Amino acid sequence: MSNTFADLPELAQHLRAQLDTKKFVLLYAYNGTGKTRLSTAFKNIGKTVDADGEVTARDTLYFNAFTEDLFQWDNDLANDSRRVLKINSDSRFFAGLAELEMDNRIRPLLSRYADFDFRIDTAAWTVSFSREETRNGATTTVDDIKVSRGEENIFIWCFFLAIVQLVLDGAEAYAWVKYVYIDDPISSLDEHNAIVVANHLVQLYRDIARNDSGDIETDRIKVSTVISTHHHLFFNVLYYELKNGFGNKAMHHVLACPRATRRYTLVQQKGDTPAFHHVAALVELDKVARGDDIHTHHFNMLRAVLEKTALFLGYTHFSACIKTGPDDADGVLHQRFVDLLSHGKYSLYEPETMGDETKRYFRTIVRQFLDRYPYNRALFPAEPIANEESAT
């Protein structure tokens, strides 16, 4: 099923109409299709402007390239000592910043990903960062550091997630929000981040939707959300998270804009991914297993491939692709390795290298999986995986 639209405002209006009955719309589109411009068109429809051109009301909280521009570095060029991230105080994105104790709301979210701390100065509208460092056996706190671009992106994303939590909780400062629009939050992050960010995002909504009995009641969510991405794996993870959590309250589309027509086509996506990303990921995992540069985040890629294979074969859990039966002790152990190493709290942007024994388990799981399932052997080298002896 597909629909064609003359321009982005017409498409944005169509998405708003879908959200009258749905809680989520997930969009996949290649870079350059117009995802960011679509998010702008969507939020502009919700603006009310007076005779003087002033915006008097709006209904969309959005995360896109413009959101990151609300934060700008002051690198203290004169003294090169006190570096802070300046916040644009004119944006309604920061409504209630002081009153709502945003530090305490952001910190639990950020701690899942990062090893640095921060402090928001609501008088100066700045954020300062610090990190504990150990030198010569002594641990000290280094203040006013400049974090990396990846760390900065994670902080801004967690800032946004904290605001989404306030929206979902019904905070008065964000009572104006009817829609949340998220455009490519992981554009500068890696494969591992795609899994963690997608899972974490949907978990916020699940927590709000879960009643006292533990069941999901979608009507408990008072806002509707659009998520757009060009990232195959991010789309894939969100597809299953939303489908499993919210069923038919989530719509999935692929957006295209052929140069020949310059009209926007929205095609309903009935599968979990618009391209065979899992096959490419498996080829990469095989390549990784043949070398020694194996990192913890590769277990996340492996889990994604296992889950896709299990769903394709009709199994309810990825462990069916690892274990030969309920009494397969090695299979149970391998499942535990995948479980634990794909859900750790290690750093997103500096994945830890595995120990030698863990690497052997990784190679064994990859090798046995490829031996068990008939993937096209032409995609993989003929020689065996290095150091593939069974881990004991």
What's the pLDDT band for 192 if we cut at 50, 70, 90? low
Residue 296 pLDDT class (50, 70, 90 cuts):
confident
Give mean pLDDT, residues 46-61: 92
Whole-Å CA distances, 312 to 168, 236, 244, 278, 318 = 34, 13, 15, 12, 11
Q: Determine the pLDDT at residue 222.
A: 95
pLDDT recorded at residue 33: 87
Q: Answer whether 118's CB lies under 8 Å from 129's CB.
A: yes
Fold of 1-59+178-275: Rossmann fold (3.40.50)
Residue 306 in contact with residue 321, Cβ under 8 Å? Answer: yes
Does the pLDDT at position 191 exceed 80? no
Average pLDDT, the chain: 85
Task: Count the alpha carbons within 13 Å of 21 in the hemisphere toward its beta carbon.
Answer: 5
Domain ranges of the chain: 1-59+178-275, 277-379
pLDDT computed for residue 24 by the predictor: 97
Please check the confidence at residue 31 and state whether its pLDDT lies above 50: yes
pLDDT attached to residue 89: 87
Out of 100-104, 279-283, 302-306, which region has the weakest mean confidence (pLDDT)?
279-283
3-state class percentages of the chain: helix first, strand second, coil last, to nearest 5 = 45, 20, 40
Is residue 379 pLDDT above 50, yes or no?
yes
pLDDT band at 187 (very low <50, low <70, confident <90, very high): low
Residue 364 pLDDT class (50, 70, 90 cuts): very high
Which H helix or E strand runs over 130?
strand 126-135
- pTM reported for the whole predicted model: 0.69
Decide which of 14 and 370 is more confident.
14
Mean pLDDT for the stretch of residues 267-285 = 68
What average pLDDT does range 301-323 have in this prediction? 85
Model pLDDT, residue 236:
83
